[in-house]
Amino acid sequence: MAFTLDELQSMITVDMGDYKLARGSQRLITRDLGSCVAVAMRDPQTGVGGLLHIMLPRYTDIDLGTERNLAKYADTGIEELVKNLVLKGAKRERLVVKLAGGAHMVRSEGVSESSDISSRNVSAVKQKLMKMNIPVLAAELGGYHPRTVIFEPGSGIFRILTAGKTDRTL
């Protein structure tokens, strides 16, 4: 199903290394997920949710003092998203997640797929969610193609668009 121009313009854009919150039928969109991972999190009862576009696995001491964008990292970004969803009325114990991204965009003989940035991003996201006891309801991870995702927190619809492929809804 294609979107009208008005529908596309009404969507809340989530840039790389950022997150946005929405409620009900408001739609969040993030584009060009290559090795990055989209984390769509919501409280099904209140219909409040958020979409996070993670770029890197972990916030490190090297970043301390220079990097203030906590949403850029899996560990700190997920914590920030949870904290702000709770402030908007979500209940921590009801949060659920859908994931997309983590594509292997650069193939190199010197770096195995299991240790490239996309695999490390996916692993860091899954570990953080497991540690926080937030269940992953569905995911489309890996592969070799960039994705765009559209998330509607009220219904939980998580639509994945990939050039040259059939759109999927998780």
CB neighbourhood size of 16 (10 A): 16
Could you give the strand order of the β-sheet that contains 136-141, starting from the edge strand earlier in sequence? 19-23, 48-54, 37-43, 96-101, 136-141
Q: Provide the annotated active-site residues.
A: 36
Distance between start and end Cα atoms, the chain: 15
> Do strands 28-33 and 12-13 pair parallel, antiparallel, or not at all (unpaired)?
parallel
Q: How far is CA 26 from CA 23, 46, 71, in A?
A: 6, 13, 21
